[in-house]
Amino acid sequence: MRTRLVFVLFFLFFCRTVPTGAATFDYPANLNAEQTVIDDVYMISTTAAMKGKVVGDLMALGKTLACPGAVAGDLLAIGLQVDFDGMVNDDVRMLGFNTDLRGNVGDDAVLTGFKVFLSPEARIGHTTVVTAKQAILHGQMRGDLIVNAYDCLIGGNVEGNVKAATAKLQLTPTAHIKGDLIYAGQETLIVPPGAIIEGEIIQQQAPSPAGFLFLPSGEGRHWAKLAGFAAWDAGLIIIGAGLLLFMPQTVHTPSKVMMSKPGLACFYGFLWLVGAPIIASLGLVTIIGLPLSIAIVFLYVSGLYLSSLPVALWLGEKLCRTRSRPYLSLTIGLLMISLCRALPYIGMVFGLLVLTVGLGSLALSFRNFLREMAKP
């Protein structure tokens, strides 16, 4: 719970609060090279490109994101394909299936994805944190490098220490590490001719294949947990934003039902939370009931994951005091729910309440939908 609290506070810090005059999602998906925005910018689109200049922070959500422009503040980018080849004066946080960084970062960079690529022309002003299945790291890193990856290749210049928890760690002849190299992996590191390590090479006990993300010292485990919480909350934000964009009633209707009938929503949520597993297990007894059981399990698991969305939208609208910015309200609401769940003692009770009310509002909305469909 403490790790989750740290992550949420960390996430809230780089998202920061949204000023009342912010442009938010009213901006188009593409910001042209000649455009300059003196404010924070919040973009959401299937394909988004920021080629202009943002004098503030930039937060972008989408399937394909590109940022060849300049950002005076922080950059937060979440998508399937995330490319950055511009300039950010402060911190960069990127989460994507494929994450490519080719530009200049003034301070810290946190890169998470299935594949993370740091190009030779990339420049990072301070600490670099990478969590990935495959990490290819070139470029100039002026601080420490912390890597949690299955397969990691380092070919850049690291002015600090390198701490790596990997199953496979490789250095190229262009690698230059001015500090210590501390690694935990299943294979012995071979330093190729041309590679330079000015500090010590320290090999720690290799983790198991299932636990390659965790350093025995605990630091790798800490960052891996943060990455897991980031992926969970970021996934909810992306799914919620997609539903608001393409099927807004799937989020708005349960939120309205929850506000109008909170007691009934709790009752339905409790019935669904307890009754669905029982019904699904009974259906497994017969061949005829097997497809029904599979459908119930699918709806049950989906409901558990999405139950926070209607509650988050309602909470975000209350905090923002407006219903005109649903994407922003949903994001703030989800972060606040995650923060409250991390609180000691009351966090578990709060999480159960959100789960019950959210499930009930989804079930009531689905019941009302079926009734409408049944009308002649």
Q: At what angle do helices 249-260 and 346-374 cross, to 10 degrees?
A: 110
Do 315 and 205 sit in the same domain of this protein?
A: no
Residues in CB range of 221: below 8 A, 6 or more apart: 213, 214, 215
Do 169 and 92 sit in the same domain of this protein?
A: yes
Do 142 and 19 sit in the same domain of this protein?
A: yes
Do 325 and 255 sit in the same domain of this protein?
A: yes
Is the pLDDT reported for residue 353 higher than 90? no
Domain enclosing residue 343, as ranges: 247-374
Residues in CB range of 243: below 8 A, 6 or more apart: 250, 251, 309
| Rg, the chain, Cα only | 23
Instruction: Give the number of other CB atoms < 10 A from CB of residue 281.
Output: 12
From 207, 222, 237, the end of a domain falls on 222
Of the chain, the end-to-end C-alpha distance in Å amounts to 51
The residue type found at 288 is I
Residues 322 and 120: their CA atoms lie apart, in Å, by: 45
Do 207 and 255 sit in the same domain of this protein?
A: no
**∠ Cα 334 335 336 (to 5°):** 90
Mean pLDDT (whole number) for 240-257:
84
Rank 45-54, 206-215, 289-298, 344-353 by mean pLDDT and report only the highest: 45-54
Q: Length of the chain, please?
A: 376
Do 145 and 283 sit in the same domain of this protein?
A: no
Longest Cα pair distance anywhere in the chain, in angstroms? 79
In a domain? residue 229: no
Do 181 and 131 sit in the same domain of this protein?
A: yes
Do 188 and 263 sit in the same domain of this protein?
A: no
Does 268 or 200 have the greater pLDDT score? 200
Q: What is the pLDDT of residues 87-122, one digit of tens each?
A: 999 999 887 778 999 999 999 998 988 889 999 999
Q: Give the closest residue to 144 by CA, choosing from 196, 179, 104.
A: 179
Residues 79 and 22: their CA atoms lie apart, in Å, by: 22
Is the pLDDT reported for residue 333 higher than 70? yes
DSSP per-residue string spanning 118-148: E-TT-EESS-EEEEEEEEEE-SEESS-EEEE
Residue 90 tokens read as 């402060």
Is the pLDDT reported for residue 12 higher than 70? no
Residue 157 tokens read as 């210049």
Residues 107 and 125: their CA atoms lie apart, in Å, by: 5
Give pLDDT, residue 13.
Answer: 37
Do 251 and 134 sit in the same domain of this protein?
A: no
Do 40 and 123 sit in the same domain of this protein?
A: yes
Q: What is the pLDDT of residues 137-180, one digit of tens each?
A: 999 999 999 998 888 999 999 999 999 988 889 999 999 999 99
pLDDT range class, residue 376, cuts 50, 70, 90: low
Do 162 and 306 sit in the same domain of this protein?
A: no
| pTM across the whole model | 0.54
Q: Which residue has the tokens 């009938």?
A: 261
Q: What is the pLDDT of residues 275-317, one digit of tens each?
A: 777 777 766 656 666 777 787 888 888 888 888 888 888 888 8
Do 116 and 51 sit in the same domain of this protein?
A: yes
In a domain? residue 231: no
